[in-house]
Structure 1
Amino acid sequence: MIGKEIRIERIINRNTNRAVIVPMDHGFSMGQIDGLLDMTKVISDVSDGGANAIVLHKGLVKRGHRKHGRDIGLFIHLSGSTSLNPDPNDKVQVCTVEEAIALGADAVSIHINLGSPNESKMLEIGANVARDCTRWGMPLLTMIYPRGKGIDSFSPQSVGHAVRVAEELGADMIKTNYPGDPEAFRKIVKACSVPVFIAGGEKTGDLESLKIIRDAVSVGGAGVCVGRNAFQREDTRGFVRALCQVVHDNIDPEKALGKKR
């Protein structure tokens, strides 16, 4: 497992055992969205802000490779679907672990929606990817959510079930919904043997976002995978800098926002 250990060290801060990860795979599903039009600039902004890693689809890696400034960890996302599909929750595999290795990835990620009509296919993909990751020593981030008819996507029971499924499939890191209650999240994290990150979710105010993230890491969360709540900010670099202070330095959110510049 030494390959996984070496690569995870490029992503998770060894002093805090936490990470700030900025997914930028949204263009695949949503098209040319605000914040991801100039990929070179936004990647520089989040890197200079101190983020530990970004998530890209394979075709954009060449736009994310920086020949200057601070280095940043790279996840290549292996799952895809579009908002034009009648069921956008139907994720299929669009890249392989071997392709990700050739592109220089430090880790890969997949997406699973529990409770969707195609759950069984996504679980099968997840199992196969986990097998390949073990073979090649590649860390796997499983982005897993309870999503389906009649399912409360934020209930502690649903979130805890999702986390357990990802762990049992072989995930090295897990991204899921924050249930909204720190004590409920504490129980979920405590029952899991691998780092659990919360999703950034829909865009909210700077302070509100940082307070949620502070609550999550204060009870054992490994950090955050925040996309639109980072790259759609007016000052992406400053917000990511404040976010990293909250996650890695336990700085109060209001103080972090005051120091973000």
Structure 2
Amino acid sequence: MTTNRYSTSYRMNRVFRDDRAALIVPIDHGLVWGRVPSLEAPVNVMRRFLSEDITGFMVSTGIVKASEVDLARAPAMSRVLAIDAFWPTSASETGTGAIVTSVEDAVRMGVDCVKLLLPWNVNDVEKVQYCKRIGEVVSEASKWHIPVMVEPVFLNMPRSPEIIEKELEVARIGYDLGADIIKITFPGPDATAKLCDELDIPVVVAGGPLSGDMASTLRDVEDAISAGAQGVVVGRKVWQRPPEEASQVIAEMARITREKYSRRW
């Protein structure tokens, strides 16, 4: 393992382990999307995956409160807490983002990381407000030694080559605002490698909506980790599949997170 500036950070080393890339299952979609199919009862989804070979969950405040006993019995599982939301995603140019959970509350709940969106197909005033929010969260989080994950995103837009390139630019804004981790929807292996080479913080890749077959999902995960991503955050492409198939996908992803992993920070 290479020496890194997070070597003494308890929470960062719960999110990122020495022997594998992070494999995080997000179940926080309700904050932005409401009642998502197959995630109507998010804690039940969590319980399905607690026995699988994953490293943690992405959660909301309500899920943390409802799953305290379950997670107390699974202390190795990390938790990334979404602390903001944006409405409406269908009209991002007129939508508004807001912090919905404080950093202090996140620490009180015992989570390992906080996560914020950084939407960029919003109006200029909202861009400024997002930069301000993230800057304030980074400042507050540093007092509690809790890492901040920032997710650049163009809401409700098709992922064209132009949008993918713009997301890389917004990832740099998140980095300059002080993010400890960048989460980005998989931009392809070359773009992932480029981003990982440019930034000296961990990059994790999101799976996005359910699409393609199991083989294509696994290929994307392998390409992302081989390109230097330190983890994958895969939800709908897992829990929207039939349970038996979902277990197969997780098992294969877990194998990839060990065999293709190279710690970079």
TM-score, normalised via structure 1 length:
0.85
Could you tell me how far 1:175 is from its partner in structure 2? Answer: 0.5
Taking structure 1 as reference, are residues 156 and 60 closer, same or farther at Cα in structure 2, changes over 3 Å only? closer
Match of 1:11 among 1, 8, 15: 15
Which stretch of the first structure deviates more once superposed, 218-227 or 64-73?
A: 64-73
| Rounded Cα–Cα distance in structure 2 between residues aligned with 1:7 and 1:134 | 12
Equivalences for 1:35-184 in 2 at 5 Å?
Answer: 35-65=38-68, 66=70, 67-69=72-74, 71-83=76-88, 86-87=91-92, 90-117=96-123, 118-147=126-155, 152=160, 155=163, 157-180=165-188, 182-184=189-191
Match of 1:242 among 246, 252, 261: 252
Which stretch of the first structure deviates more once superposed, 120-129 or 29-38?
A: 29-38
Decide whether the 8 Å contact of 1:112 with 1:145 is kept in 2. Answer: yes
SS of equivalent to 1:48: coil
Matched residue type, 1:104: G
SS of equivalent to 2:232: strand
SS of equivalent to 1:179: coil
| Rounded Cα–Cα distance in structure 2 between residues aligned with 1:147 and 1:243 | 27
Matched residue type, 1:13: R
Q: Which runs of 5+ in 1 are unaligned?
A: 252-261
| Rounded Cα–Cα distance in structure 1 between residues aligned with 2:116 and 2:185 | 15
| Rounded Cα–Cα distance in structure 1 between residues aligned with 2:120 and 2:167 | 10
SS of equivalent to 1:15: coil
Taking structure 1 as reference, are residues 151 and 119 closer, same or farther at Cα in structure 2, changes over 3 Å only? farther
| Rounded Cα–Cα distance in structure 1 between residues aligned with 2:60 and 2:82 | 5
Could you tell me how far 1:242 is from its partner in structure 2? Answer: 2.0
- Structure 1 residue 195 and structure 2 residue 202: aligned? yes
Taking structure 1 as reference, are residues 240 and 91 closer, same or farther at Cα in structure 2, changes over 3 Å only? farther
SS of equivalent to 1:54: strand
SS of equivalent to 1:122: helix
Taking structure 1 as reference, are residues 82 and 230 closer, same or farther at Cα in structure 2, changes over 3 Å only? farther
Could you tell me how far 1:83 is from its partner in structure 2? Answer: 4.5
TM-score, normalised via structure 2 length:
0.83
Could you tell me how far 1:148 is from its partner in structure 2? Answer: 8.7
Equivalences for 1:220-259 in 2 at 5 Å?
Answer: 220-235=228-243, 236-250=246-260
Across the two proteins, how many residue pairs are aligned to each other? 249
Matched residue type, 1:26: H
Taking structure 1 as reference, are residues 37 and 146 closer, same or farther at Cα in structure 2, changes over 3 Å only? closer
Give per-residue Cα distances to partners, 1:134-159, cap 9 Å, x unaligned. Answer: 11100111111245989957655313
Q: CA RMSD in A?
A: 2.7
Could you tell me how far 1:9 is from its partner in structure 2? Answer: 1.2
Aligned to 2:216: 208
- Structure 1 residue 186 and structure 2 residue 189: aligned? no
Could you tell me how far 1:70 is from its partner in structure 2? Answer: 6.3
Taking structure 1 as reference, are residues 57 and 69 closer, same or farther at Cα in structure 2, changes over 3 Å only? closer
| Rounded Cα–Cα distance in structure 2 between residues aligned with 1:150 and 1:239 | 25
Aligned to 1:254: none
Q: Which runs of 5+ in 2 are unaligned?
A: none
Could you tell me how far 1:47 is from its partner in structure 2? Answer: 2.6
| Rounded Cα–Cα distance in structure 1 between residues aligned with 2:260 and 2:38 | 27
Taking structure 1 as reference, are residues 82 and 4 closer, same or farther at Cα in structure 2, changes over 3 Å only? farther
Give per-residue Cα distances to partners, 1:5-44, cap 9 Å, x unaligned. Answer: 101111112123x211222111122222222223333112
| Rounded Cα–Cα distance in structure 2 between residues aligned with 1:239 and 1:151 | 24
| Rounded Cα–Cα distance in structure 2 between residues aligned with 1:184 and 1:33 | 29
Which stretch of the first structure deviates more once superposed, 5-14 or 239-248?
A: 239-248
